[in-house]
Amino acid sequence: MIQELYNDKSGRDLADNLHYCKNIHTLNSCGADMRLIIAEKPSLARAIADALPGSTRREEGALHAGDTVVTWCLGHLLEQAPPDAYDPAYKQWRLDHLPILPERWKLAPRPKARGQLAAIRRLLKSAREVVHAGDPDREGQLLVQEVIEHLGWKGPVSRLLVSDLNRPAVARALTRLEDNSRYHALYRAAESRARADWLYGINLTRAWTLTGRQAGHDGVLSVGRVQTPVLGLVVRRDAEIRDFVPYPFHVLWVDIAVSGGQLRAWWQPAETQRLDEQGRLLERPPAEALAARLPGAEGHLASLDARQKRQAAPLPYSLSALQVDAARRFGLSAKGVLDICQRLYERHKLITYPRSDCRYLPEDHLAQARRTLESACHSDATLQQWFAGADFTLRSKAWNDKKVGAHHALSPTGKPADLGRLEKAEADVFRLIARNVLAQFYPALETREVKAEFVILDERFRASGQVLLQPGWKPLFTTRDEAPPLPPLSEGEACRVTDCAVEDRETRPPEPFTDASLIKAMMNIARYVDDPAVRRTLREHDGLGTEATRAGIIETLLERGYLVRCNKALRATRLGSGLIASLPEAASRPERTALWEQRLGAIAEQDADPAPFMTSLIADLQALLASADAARLRSAMAEARGEAGPTVSASRGRSSGKPRRSRSRAAPTRKRRTS
């Protein structure tokens, strides 16, 4: 047909147009309006196209289904333009250029994304409407919308939110399109975050790198609004471990015979003894003197406290909670868990959207839960056993629409899972995800906690135990036996000492960070803040980084040589320690960046004006730049290398959020008793 049209000039013009339409993959709809869906990544585009009615035709850069064309980004197609895009002079790094503050922000195509960006540009010319199909989070909103705006689209834009790549779920989502303008505040928050990160990272990295050159350090010193406080946590923890000075303490135990059997109790020294802040005995002679009198001594049970406790199952996972558990149970790195989740979501379609900060599930998922979990569990013996024990008449607090935001907790999609065909780590992580959802259909764990206090020779001894009344969900999480229960006890009954001993113990330093504990620290960053008012505020907001970025932050610090893995431990290198020591304390502590997240949350959720946030950031930035000092940096690097000379401590402030009680050889004493 096309060749025939070339027989005359008018035909050649039309043929040229048809060739053009074919080249941009819209031959079927050329000359007619089409709906263009822009997905965040190819896997999401394929899932959307598969859920559309009719057959799907694939050509380079797009998928066609009827009058709908689905194209995709490759993650971010655009990035903040480099400083020299604003002024060629900025290509050279100079302190007198700082701070670099763009008046009108520019975006630049990523080098490997130019072809796909051009394809989207061409497709937009034939579109009647655009559907934004970024991932349902702040970053997903940004990376598709910035492409739409950068390419100058002025027509209507709808929003498609997909958190589950299975065909039925995507088909349902396609019937629930929203006006993209509802998410403009989320976009502004993401845009503000991107610009703030650029300002902070570009200016401080240049300032400290240039100051480092003056101090004799050859290399880039990278400073970031999240990575640097995370590095600061590790540096200060390492300093606590390095500076820790242990001291001895002593405990006295007694084995006691009662009418119902025997138990072990522990001496509670009186306030007149020399104790540390945790109530530990610091001098051995009082314990030895009492131990000499105890064999065969009689006494009585002075008080008995028995309380029944009921504990609901742990909630389904957010990404960070999963990373913590998978690191502890299987030794997986945070990035390893994220990569596994992405494969389970995109390649295998076995779990819902993984980069979620939510631990609750939509209420309408409850009705399908039995069918979903049965399909997910049928090929694995462990999951089958757990599924068989589930009671689907139960409803836990996990099903709560009010607690579900842009995402819900990680859960199986219901696609039949052949765990034998997965990698071992993939199967392990999938079982954890399925287990935490299955646990919502198990009864609560019920125990009776017993605390007993005995009086013998006018001294007090305490014992505690637990009686398991209803195992509930607990067997899904551990096979370990609980502490043995106490024998039957009656308040006031007589007792007799059958054995006793004094044990010498020693205080221990804090543990070094691991992937699990560092992710947990980033989630619960308020614990590492000294200011009570700031700490209260931070408890109500997200921690350091986001679900999507925490694993990447750790990997970035490792790649840049600031951290190193020692078995499972994450330790700061000399370079990392020196950088933290050279920076103002405010730049290496979590308060600023955590409060950033709070302000960005206000922009996203309350449609707050971004301008005050940016103005405040620039003021902070100028103060930080003024503190760059070559002498301080030279001293810090020398101390990190262990060289003699003036030092700048890398351990300013506390990393653990707890008093440093064990630093001096003269252990602190106290005048009040703690249990």
Mean pLDDT of 223-227: 93
Q: Round to whole Å and give the CA distance between 269 and 290.
A: 10
Each as own residue / partner, the long-range contacts of residues 29-33 (CB below 8 Å, 24 or more positions apart, any chain) are 29/64, 29/67, 29/69, 29/126, 30/126, 32/67, 33/67, 33/126, 33/127, 33/128
Which positions ≥6 away from 343 have C-beta within 8 Å? 426
CA dihedral over 171, 172, 177, 180, signed as positive or negative: negative
**Does residue 3 carry a pLDDT above 70?**
no
| Mean pLDDT of all residues in 252-267 | 96
pLDDT of the residue at 481: 62
Instruction: Name the more confident of 592 and 258.
Output: 258
The pLDDT of residue 7 is above 80: no
DSSP element (H, E) containing 425: helix 424-438
Topology of the domain covering 33-176: Rossmann fold (3.40.50)
At residue 653, the pLDDT reads: 36
Give me Rg for the CA atoms of the chain. Answer: 31
Q: Between these two residues, 41 and 650, which has the higher pLDDT value?
A: 41
Output phi, psi for 460, to 5 deg. Answer: -105, 140
Q: How far is CA 550 from the centre of its chain?
A: 5
Distance CA 108, CA 86 (A): 12
Average pLDDT on 380-405 reads: 94
- Checking if the pLDDT of 661 tops 60, the result is no
Quick: pLDDT tens for 597-612: 778 888 988 888 999 9
The closest of 401, 329, 325, 390 to 362, measured between CA atoms, is 401
What is the rounded average pLDDT for all residues in the chain? 87
Sequence-ordered alpha helix ranges (H) in 154-226 = 167-174, 184-214
DSSP class per residue in 310-346:
EEPPPPPPPHHHHHHHHHHHH---HHHHHHHHHIIII
Coil, helix or strand for 104?
coil
Query: Given this structure, which CATH class describes domain 248-312+446-506?
Result: mainly beta
Q: Retrieve residue 522's tokens.
A: 């980033």
pLDDT reading at 656 higher than 60: no
The answer to whether the CB of 156 falls within 8 A of the CB of 121 is no
Is the pLDDT at 174 greater than 50? The verdict is yes
| Range from 263-272, 396-405, 530-539, 553-562 carrying the lowest mean pLDDT | 530-539
| Active-site option among 183, 187, 345, 353 | 353
**Does 319-441 carry CATH code 1.10.290.10?**
yes
What is the structure's pLDDT at 4? 33
* Least confident piece of the model among 14-23, 102-111, 161-170, 631-640: 14-23
* 25-39, 280-294, 465-479 — most confident range: 280-294
- pLDDT for the residue numbered 643: 60
Residues 103-122: what's their mean pLDDT? 94
Report d(CA 580, CA 625) in Å as an integer.
Answer: 15
Check residues 584 and 479 and name the one with the higher pLDDT: 584
Burial of 415 (0-12, 13-18, 19+ CB in 10 A): middle
Which residues on neighbouring strands pair with residue 566, listed in sequence order?
A: 569
Identify the band that residue 562 occupies on the pLDDT scale cut at 50, 70 and 90: very high
Say whether pLDDT at 31 is over 50. no
Q: Tell me, what's the pLDDT at 161?
A: 93
Which tokens hold the place of 637? 């690097």
Contact between 514 and 568 (Cβ < 8 Å): yes
Q: What is the pLDDT of residue 14?
A: 36
* Per-residue 3-state assignment (H helix, E strand, C coil) for 36-69: EEEECCHHHHHHHHHHCCCCCEEECCEEEECCEE
Q: Residue 593 — very low, low, confident or very high, per pLDDT cuts 50/70/90?
A: confident
- Residue 540 has what pLDDT? 64
238: Cα within 13 Å, side-chain hemisphere: 26
* Residue 672 predicted with pLDDT over 80: no
**Average pLDDT of the residues in 463-474:** 94
**pLDDT of 2 strictly over 90:** no
319-441 matches 190-244+510-640 in CATH topology: no
| pLDDT for residue 537 | 65
Tell me which of 85 and 28 has the higher pLDDT: 85
DSSP 216: T
Tell whether the model's pLDDT for residue 671 goes beyond 70: no
Is 15 a residue whose pLDDT tops 70? no
Is the model's pTM score more than 0.85? no
Name the β-bridge partners of 58.
63
Q: How many CA atoms are closer than 13 Å to the CA of 433, on its beta-carbon side? A: 34
CA 40 from chain centre, in angstroms, equals 21
Delimit the domains of the chain by residue range. Answer: 33-176, 190-244+510-640, 248-312+446-506, 319-441
* Predicted confidence (pLDDT) per residue in 191-216, tens digit: 999 999 999 999 999 999 999 999 98
Catalytic annotation present for 353: yes
Tell me the C-alpha distance between 142 and 128, whole Å.
22
Confidence at residue 640, expressed as pLDDT on a 0 to 100 scale: 80
Q: Is the pLDDT of residue 633 over 60?
A: yes
The count of residues in the chain is: 675
Q: Which two tokens stand for residue 639?
A: 């101390």
| Residue 648, pLDDT score | 36
Tell me: the pLDDT tens digits for 411-468? Answer: 999 999 899 999 999 999 999 999 999 999 999 999 999 999 999 999 999 999 999 9
Write the CATH number of the domain with boundaries 190-244+510-640: 1.10.460.10
- Of 30, 126, 49, nearest in space to 57 by CA: 49
Residues 405-411 have a mean pLDDT of 86
pLDDT band at 17 (very low <50, low <70, confident <90, very high): very low
